[in-house]
Each structure stands twice: as structure tokens, then as C-alpha cells.
Structure 1
Amino acid sequence: MSAPALLLLAHGTQDAAGRATWERLTAAVAQAVPEVEVRLAYADVVSPTMAEALAELPGPVVVVPAFLAAGFHVRVDVPEQLAATGRPDVVVAEAFGPDPELVGVLLDRLAEAGAQPGDTVVLAAAGSNDPRARADLDTAAALLTARVGHEVPVGYIAGGEPRVASVVASAGSRGPRVVVATWLLAPGAFHRWLADAGAAVVAEPLGEHPDVVDVVVRRYRAAAA
């Protein structure tokens, strides 16, 4: 029996750099599991949608939702989209969430951007008013806090309060320079907006880092089993 196909499900973006990042991540996942057919779909904004991608994939299929917090898409949108397909041979893996391995990627991206020991780190996330999504972001901040040795506050880029610029200003009043750890998977408008947040350093999104690939593969294998 052949291995189930893997459908990586991203949020969706019209940003060319963002889509290129998702395509590179998909290619890296395919290289990591050469025995598996790997495809990319988007939950919103652009095509192919999950339904369109599944129409081209015979079952069984494992959908891996590439979301860092359990907000609307994870809890409502993706299950509804899958139910609409009527496919009984498709399972949805656990979303990324605040995986400790991804927190390690944050540290790598900060180092690549020029962050130094002693810098004050702020975690920048897209933001949500959903309490469960915010709890996931708080967990990510707590994991990062344990790694950097000081409390890491969370700032929101678009949804909810406090906004990143406000958090950066507050953190900067306490002394050392402030650096932003970017809790986003791919570049786009949200990441560009961080340039105006007032931080000394803004890290790149997680992107196609090998540990992101590893999280995708782990989620896939757990669901396929």
C-alpha cells in the first residue's frame, strides 16, 4: 500500500515572496519524504484551495495545516472545507501551534539578523482575538522566554492588542536594544510592517528552515499512523 499523500495547507497570500517561500518549503518537504506525493494548497486568498488540490489527489491524504495558532482557520474553516468535499479518505493533522522546535527556529532567525546576547526580545505575531489562538501565542512566548533568559512579551501586528510598536517602545524604555522575533511562516505585508515597529533588529519569518520541514514531516507521520 502506498503512503498517503501530504497536502500542506497554508493561510494564503498574494505576496510573491510569500508564495515563493511556501513553494520552497513544499519542495523541501517533498525532498525529505521522497516516497510521498506532496502538494501545496491555501485556506484563503489564493488558489489552489484545499478542495481544488484534493480533487487532483486520490486518497488517502493527510492535510497538514501550517498555522502557528489555533484560530478560526484551524478550528472552523479547515474542518468545514474538508466536510464540503465529502472525502472520507482525508485526515487533518495537528496544526503547527507553538512547537518547541519552531521556537528554536526563532532563535536561529534572530541570530541571522544580528541579534546579540543581552538584547531584549519581543515576539511579533499576526494576532487574533480568539482566546485559544492567543493562548498558543502566550505558550510560544513562554518557550522563548525559557531560551533567552528574560520575559518575552508578545506584540500583535494586525489583530488584537497590544501592537508590536507599543510593546517595542515599552521594552526599550528598560534599557538594552530591542529585537523582534517574527512568529510568521512567510514574508508578506505583516512582516514588512514590522520595519516600522522601532526595533533595532527584525528577524526574518521562519520560512523553509530545516526544522520547519521536520515539523511538517512529524505532523504528517503522526496523522498517517
Structure 2
Amino acid sequence: MSELPLLLVAHGSRSDAADAVIRSLAGAVAAQGPRVEICYVDVRGPKVVDAVIALRDSGAHGAVVVPAFLAAGYHVRVDLPAQLAEAGADPARFRTTPSMGPDPLLAAAALDRLRAAGYRDGDAVVLAAAGSSDPSAVAQVRLAAGMLSGRVGRRVRVGFAATGTPTVTDLVEGLRRAGERRVAVASWLLAPGVFQNRLLECGADVVADPLGVHDDVVRAVLDRYTAGVAEIERAA
């Protein structure tokens, strides 16, 4: 395993339970070899600038920066690069990988969570994401729904908990009006919090837990780290 550290960048949440998931995910990844540090683009500290400075102060000359986001919306495309630039991070040495999602590994994790919650073959399935005003991020969520659809063998619709339409609740109600007897909601969220709580109130028969610290989520992070290390080494 490379000596390059992995900088896991999360959004940040006021929920201690959500923060605990990020820390547990970092620990699970670190157990596979790389040094892992955590930072946040918003709400919590340490912020990206502080984390980069701390890494340099510790003697690290670079890092693989992995955005712990399930789609590349504004925070990944704009906030994160701006904060890395503010810290003076050389893009050739502080290599930012694609966001964690969409990824077939995460679709597999979502199905595992769905089955654990009581999903039955034949249930109507909704993939529930936080939502974004960024069309490219929404398109990535729809791509993830396609990945999950291939695993459940029927169409998976996309609903949103915060930004965008249809809302998960409206989608569940519409599926019932269309004659679906059971509706299952797969959570396209990494950790618990306000958005997951909204899913629990959407009226579905089954609501899966967030992806959390699933083995396939850990693998997805490690895959991005490995690819990032290779890019840094090729550029050296």
C-alpha cells in the first residue's frame, strides 16, 4: 500500500450519528492500509484548508483526495477545488478522484440494505437521493438508479428528499395510485440525518438504511484511492 495519505472529504453534518458513520468509514478504509484523514467542505471541521495544511506539516507531500459524495454536485465540482486551491494544494500532488457514486459497488450495497429492510422481489423500487440543483449530479443519480434496476430486474425510479422533483413521498403515492401493492425505498444516502428521517416518513412499505460502512462502500473508496495513487505516480 502506498505511503500517500487518503484525504476523505465529506459534506459535514450537525448530526453526530452522521459524523460517526464518516469516522467509521475512514477507520474501515484505514484498516486496509492507507493513512486516512477526514475533513469537511461545510458545517464541521476540520475544513479542507486546515486538513491540507496539517498534512503538509506532518511531512506529507501530497494525498489522494476522495470526495465522500454519491454524486458530483456543486460541493465536489466547485467548493472542493476552491478550498484545495486556497490551501495551495498542488493538483499534481493532491489528486482529487471522482466522487464515490455512481458506482456498481454502491448499487450492490444499496440492494443489500434494501433486502435487509424487507424488500421482496417484485416490489416497486424508488432510489431516494438528497437531490441537487446541478443537472449533472441528478443525471448521475439516474445512472445509479439504472445500476440498481439491473440488479432488481425492473425499473427503479428516482425521488428526492430535499432538492428536486419528484419528492420521494409524491413518488410513493403515485406508485400506489398506479396499482403497486408494495413500494420499497433504497437510500442513496451515505449516513443518517435529516434526509434519511424524511425517507422514514414517506409512506413506503420498506425504507432501507443509508449505505453506511458497507464492505462495498469501503471497496469503492479504496478503488478511488488506488487509481489516484497511480495517477500521482505517473505524473511524478
Band the TM-score falls in, shorter-chain normalisation: over 0.9
1:205 aligns with 2:203: no
Instruction: Please give the secondary structure, in 2, of the residue aligned with 1:62.
Output: strand
Equivalent in the alignment of 2:234: none
Question: Could you tell me which residue of structure 2 aligns to residue 56 of structure 1?
Answer: 54
How many residue pairs get matched? 223
2:129 is the counterpart of 1:140: no
Deviates most, 21-30 or 89-98: 89-98
* Alpha-carbon contact 1:118-1:176 (below 8 Å) kept: no
Q: Is the 8 A contact 1:5 1:59 kept in 2?
A: no
- Map of 2:9 onto structure 1: 9
Q: Aligned equivalents of 1:199 and 1:59: distance in 2?
A: 49
Deviating beyond 6 angstroms after TM superposition, the runs of 4 or more aligned structure 1 residues are: none
Aligned-partner SS, 1:158: coil
AA partner of residue 15 (structure 2): D
Cα distance in 1 for residues equivalent to 2:17 and 2:2? 34
1:107-136 CA-partner distances (Å, limit 9, x unpaired): 000111111111111110000121101110
Q: Which runs of 5+ in 2 are unaligned?
A: 231-236
Q: Is the 8 A contact 1:121 1:180 kept in 2?
A: yes
User: Counterpart of 2:199 in 1: which secondary structure?
Assistant: helix
Query: Which stretch has the larger CA shift, 90-99 or 76-85?
Result: 90-99
> What TM-score results when the alignment is normalised by the length of structure 1?
0.96
* Alignment equivalent of 2:199, drawn from 194, 198, 204: 194
Gap change, CA 1:2 and 1:130, over 3 Å in 2 = closer
- Which of 27, 45, 48 is matched with 1:47 structurally? 45
The normalised TM-score by structure 2 is 0.91
Which one-letter code corresponds to 1:5 in the other structure? P
Partner of 1:105: 109
Bigger Cα displacement from structure 2, 208-217 vs 143-152 = 143-152
- State the 1:2 CA deviation: 5.9
Structure 1 regions of 5+ residues with no counterpart? Answer: none
Rounded to whole Å, the distance in 1 between the matches of 2:19 and 2:133 is 26
The equivalent position to 2:82 in structure 1, one of 70, 80, 83, is 80
Alpha-carbon offset, residue 172 of structure 1: 1.9
1:111–1:83 CA distance, 2 compared to 1 (3 A): same
CA drift at 1:72: 0.2
Q: Percent same amino acid at aligned positions?
A: 49
Match for residue 36 of structure 2 among 30, 33, 38: 38
Distance in 1 between residues matched to 2:108 and 2:145, nearest whole Å: 12
Instruction: Report the secondary structure of 2:220's partner residue.
Output: helix
* 2:102 aligned partner, one-letter code: P
Deviations 1:170-202 (A, max 9, x none): 112222200100000011110011111010111
Q: Assess, with a 3 A threshold, how the Cα gap between structure 1 residues 2 and 165 changes in structure 2: closer, same or farther.
A: closer
| Deviation at residue 143 of structure 1 after TM alignment | 1.1
Contact 1:11 1:42 (8 Å CA) reproduced: yes
Partner of 1:28: 28
